[in-house]
Amino acid sequence: MHTALPPIRTEPLRTACSACNLRELCLPLGLSSADMEKLDGLISTRRTVPRGESLFRANEPFHALYAVRTGFFKTCLSAEDGRVQVTGFQMAGELLGLDGIGSGNHTVDAQALEDSSVCVLPFSDLENLAREFGALQMQLHKIMSREIVRDHGVMMLLGSMRAEERVAAFLLNLTQRLQARGYSANEVVLRMTREEIGSYLGLKLETVSRTFSRFQDDGILDVKQRQITVKSPEALQRLVSTAAC
């Protein structure tokens, strides 16, 4: 410990991909350190998004993908008639904006559910870099493919699961992703409202609330507002995997 002057930059030194603690979860996964340095050069901008603000909105022109550094987002698809569907929740290391590539315009709103920061990945630069580095290209393709697979899972959930199973699957998915980021698998602080969970799961907020209460009665969860303690992950797992029987 030294007693020298305080650092001149109050802002912390910009974390490079190569030094980012998310590199095993994010775009750089599988890249050599040489390739990763090239990727560092690409990320010239970062952006902070205060809670409640949008990172981008539907119909805005698409220019970049965004990698969540810190915080938590939701993506919403809006229908002409005003209905809104939450299509996903994104946490650190996950990519936002893939929906915009196809048409050149974003198709969903990405809103921060808590104060958040993202790395901006200008897409044409990313494509250029991907053409140079097969590993980056492959990783990008894998990420897009996994998003498709995730969506298929949600389709299964929405198409054929009952409320209890949906909520159980949602909680398991959330805890697993948090665990991969070094958090406890049993303690979750929900960043979203019951209504947002319901929208994602195709349920009304009352049904989500009731299901949480039932899980608490059954000793599976401890629910204190948004503070959830998973007392029996096994029970949740049983609910999703033996659902039809």
Partner DNA sequence: CGTCTGATTGATGTGATTCAACACGGGTGG
Partner DNA sequence: CCACCCGTGTTGAATCACATCAATCAGACG
- Lookup: tokens for 33: 């350190």
> Would the CA dihedral through 158, 162, 167, 172 be positive or negative?
negative
The reply to whether 77 sits near a copy of itself by the rule CB under 8 A is yes
- Minimum Å gap between C-beta 132 and a copy of itself is 8
Count of C-beta atoms within a 10 Å radius of residue 30: 14
Does residue 52 interact with a copy of itself by CB under 8 A?
Answer: no
Q: Measuring CA to CA, which residue among 96, 74, 198 is closest to residue 147?
A: 96
**Quick one: which of 76, 89, 164, 169 contacts DNA (CB under 7 A)?**
164
Q: Does 63 bind DNA (CB under 7 A)?
A: no
Q: Does 231 bind DNA (CB under 7 A)?
A: no
Cβ distance to a copy of itself smaller for residue 48 or 176: 176
Is residue 209 close enough to count as binding DNA by CB under 7 A? yes
| 206-215 long-range Cβ contacts below 8 angstroms, 24+ apart | 207/163, 208/163, 208/167, 211/163, 211/164, 211/167, 212/167, 214/164, 215/164, 215/167, 215/168
> What's the Cα-to-Cα distance from 58 to each of 89, 105, 170, 232, rounded to whole Å?
16, 7, 25, 39
242 contacts a copy of itself (rule: CB under 8 A): yes
Which residue among 26, 27, 36, 203 contacts DNA (CB under 7 A)? 203
- Four-CA torsion 185, 190, 191, 197, nearest 10 degrees: 110
Q: Can residue 223 be called a binding residue for DNA (CB under 7 A)?
A: yes
- Residue 70 CB, nearest approach to DNA (Å): 18
Select from 156, 181, 184, 219 the one that contacts a copy of itself (CB under 8 A): 156
Core vs surface per residue 137-161: b (16+ CB within 10 A) or e: eebbeebeeeeeeeeeebeebeeeb
7 binds, among DNA, a copy of itself, none (CB under 5 to 8 A by kind): none
193 is a contact residue toward a copy of itself (CB under 8 A): no
Q: Which residues bind a copy of itself (CB under 8 A)?
A: 77, 79-83, 85, 87, 98-103, 107-108, 127-128, 130-132, 134, 137-138, 140-149, 151-156, 158-160, 199-202, 241-245
Q: Which residues bind DNA (CB under 7 A)?
A: 162-164, 190, 193-195, 202-210, 212-213, 223-226
